[in-house]
């Protein structure tokens, strides 16, 4: 279960509130007026998510290339194509 930290707790306790919330859980939710607003996680975990996201994008591009869903063109042709509305 993800622990929550209220905006008021963050204001009064500072980073100690976040450290306490993410210990053993690796993520916390900051709530504002009772609604989930932000996710906080250790930087290492954030980097892992970014790597997964980038790997997924690379795989999607590889699949597009295998299925022929790409365009070969010069820089000039590309600029003309993307700016011609």
Is pTM beyond 0.75 here? no
Count the domains in the chain.
2
pLDDT tens readout for residues 56-82: 999 999 999 999 999 999 999 999 999
Residue recorded with tokens 């993520």: 27
DSSP, res 23: T
Question: What count of other Cβ atoms lies within 10 Å of the Cβ of residue 3?
Answer: 16
Q: Are 50 and 76 in a shared domain?
A: yes
Q: Are 36 and 8 in a shared domain?
A: yes
pLDDT tens readout for residues 15-32: 999 999 998 889 999 999
Contact 40/20 with Cβ under 8 angstroms?
Answer: no
What range defines the domain where residue 68 resides?
A: 44-83
Residue recorded with tokens 């970014």: 50
Here the tokens at position 75 are: 């820089």
């Amino acid at each position: 279960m993800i622990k929550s930290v209220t905006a008021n707790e963050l204001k009064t306790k500072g980073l100690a509130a976040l450290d306490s919330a993410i210990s053993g859980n690796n993520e916390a939710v900051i709530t504002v007026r009772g609604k989930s607003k932000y996710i906080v996680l250790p930087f290492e975990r954030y980097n892992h998510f970014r790597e997964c996201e980038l790997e997924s994008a690379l795989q999607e591009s590889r699949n597009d290339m295998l299925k022929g869903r790409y365009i070969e063109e010069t820089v000039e042709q590309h600029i003309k194509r993307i700016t011609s509305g």
